[in-house]
Amino acid sequence: MAEMTQEEIDVLQYVRRFAGEEIRPLAKKIDEEKTVPQSLINRMKELGLFASYIPKEYGGYGMSFQFLMHAIEEISMACPSTSLVLDGALTLFAEPVLMFGSEELKKKYLGMVAEGTIGGLALTEPGAGSDAAAIKTTAVKNGNNYVINGTKIFISNGRLAKFYVVDVVTEPGRGHRGISTFVVDADTHGLRISRDIEKLGIKGSSTVELVFDDVEVPETNIVGKLNEGFRVVMETLDAGRIGIACQALGIAKAAFREAVEYVQQRKQFNQALSNFEAIQFMIADMETSISAATLLTYDAARRWDEHLPCVKESSMAKLFASDTAMKVTTDALQLFGGYGYTTDLDAERHMRDAKITQIYEGTNQIQRLIISREVLKELSIM
């Protein structure tokens, strides 16, 4: 069974300290100013966090996926907008290049990611969200290049990314069998950010709409094979969902700890709130859900490291951890009473931040479809 190495466990202590001492104090400001300061991203670079998961032959430290997931959780406890910068660069951009990219693409892009150059994934379109195979952005062959036209929406790391993994239709009319995945540099002529998208939570994360207007990319930028890009993005999301589960865990744990601390201090009816059985039962339920979500999530991360089938496991982790984050942050706010509803405390921000984890990288309705499809396959009587 693949476990984290002692070195990885030791490095995680630094990540925990970094998140608690340097990120957490900035979380409120990041939310208010709707941006993660470059100085914080630079610190993540200095600490080698972008290099952590990149294999040594491409300039990284070759650490495990489990290490990366624990690091995402630690950073999410402090600020989930900040963790998404790292998570997006590694699970959404680097992972597909690593899994399916040519040697040339790996050499060119993974080294840059290891140095802290940020990437993103552009799949979703105004007309194609849950039904990702319905994308309309096209790439038409022109000599040794492809010309991309279309619009992508809700792209995380939007303004920070120097390159994106982009899904396009290369053979119209063939549904998911006509989709290819390309790497596209953000500064390619014809590619522009048409707007920033304002959000309920993770406000520090840059979310944009991208317009492709005759964007020419070399054929060699195809990740994997022509017309086999849907598989690339689906497998990418298997890893990505574990990252979102870790983000959800971090948010839930932060909200929970703050609330538990508070109920021990706050007195009503001449005693601490934590003396009341109704409050104790809430604490018990929150802790139980968090523990169950943690087990599911760490198991999925371990399976990813071991290259074991992980479709169902990553969906279950994402589904359960995000539902837990939403429930726990809502209950945590409740435990603060009226103070929880104010922006003086972090409880309302945790609740706003938690909501996205039930939506992106496949909504939780879609996770349920994936899980049941896998179960029906496994238990098929044929």
Ligand X SMILES: Cc1cc2nc3c(=O)[nH]c(=O)nc-3n(C[C@H](O)[C@H](O)[C@H](O)COP(=O)(O)OP(=O)(O)OC[C@H]3O[C@@H](n4cnc5c(N)ncnc54)[C@H](O)[C@@H]3O)c2cc1C
How far apart are the C-alpha atoms of 123 and 325, rounded to whole Å?
Answer: 25
CB of 254 to ligand X, least distance (A): 19
CB of 240 to ligand X, least distance (A): 9
Count CB atoms within 10 A of the CB of residue 189: 10
CB of 126 to ligand X, least distance (A): 8
DSSP line for 82-139: HHHHHHIIIIIIIHHHHHH--HHHIIIIIHHHHTT--EEEE--BTTBSSSGGG---EE
* Closer residue to ligand X (CB): 86 or 282: 86
* Closer residue to ligand X (CB): 53 or 154: 154
* Closer residue to ligand X (CB): 148 or 155: 155
* Chain residues 312-341 in contact with ligand X, contact rule CB under 6 A: none
How far apart are the C-alpha atoms of 331 and 279, rounded to whole Å?
Answer: 10
SS3 64: coil
* Closer residue to ligand X (CB): 266 or 352: 352
Amino acid at 252: A
CB of 376 to ligand X, least distance (A): 16
Using rule CB under 6 A, residue 137 touches ligand X: no
The correct pick among 26, 44, 90, 122 for binding ligand X (CB under 6 A) is 122
Give the Å distances, CA to CA, from 349 to 254, 282, 326, 362: 11, 20, 12, 22
Which residues are CB-neighbours of 168 under 8 A, at least 6 positions away?
135, 137, 138, 139, 146, 148, 150, 179, 180, 181, 182, 229
Nearest residue to ligand X by CB is 129
CB of 108 to ligand X, least distance (A): 21
Annotated catalytic, 361?
yes
* Chain residues 199-238 in contact with ligand X, contact rule CB under 6 A: 199, 207
* Closer residue to ligand X (CB): 89 or 290: 89
The correct pick among 5, 42, 130, 220 for binding ligand X (CB under 6 A) is 130
What dihedral do alpha carbons 211, 224, 187, 153 form, nearest 10°? 30
* Chain residues 144-163 in contact with ligand X, contact rule CB under 6 A: 154-156
How far apart are the C-alpha atoms of 108 and 91, rounded to whole Å?
Answer: 17
Cβ(187)–Cβ(63) below 8 Å: no
Span of 37-45, 73-81, 119-127, 250-258 interacting with ligand X by CB under 6 A: 119-127
CB of 185 to ligand X, least distance (A): 17
Geometric angle at alpha carbon 210, from 149 and 45, rounded to 5°: 125
How far apart are the C-alpha atoms of 18 and 276, rounded to whole Å?
Answer: 36
Tell the burial category of 119 from Cβ atoms under 10 Å away from its Cβ (0-12, 13-18, 19+). buried
* Chain residues 338-367 in contact with ligand X, contact rule CB under 6 A: 356, 359-363, 365-366
* Closer residue to ligand X (CB): 43 or 352: 352
CB of 130 to ligand X, least distance (A): 3
* Chain residues 57-86 in contact with ligand X, contact rule CB under 6 A: none
Span of 41-49, 70-78, 116-124, 297-305 interacting with ligand X by CB under 6 A: 116-124
Q: State the number of binding residues for ligand X (CB under 6 A).
A: 20
Whether the CA torsion 123, 126, 132, 134 is positive or negative: it is negative
* Closer residue to ligand X (CB): 66 or 156: 156
Annotated catalytic residue, options 228, 361, 374, 378: 361
Which residues are CB-neighbours of 200 under 8 A, at least 6 positions away?
352, 355, 356
Please give the positions annotated as active site: 361
Q: Which residues bind ligand X (CB under 6 A)?
A: 120-124, 129-130, 154-156, 199, 207, 356, 359-363, 365-366
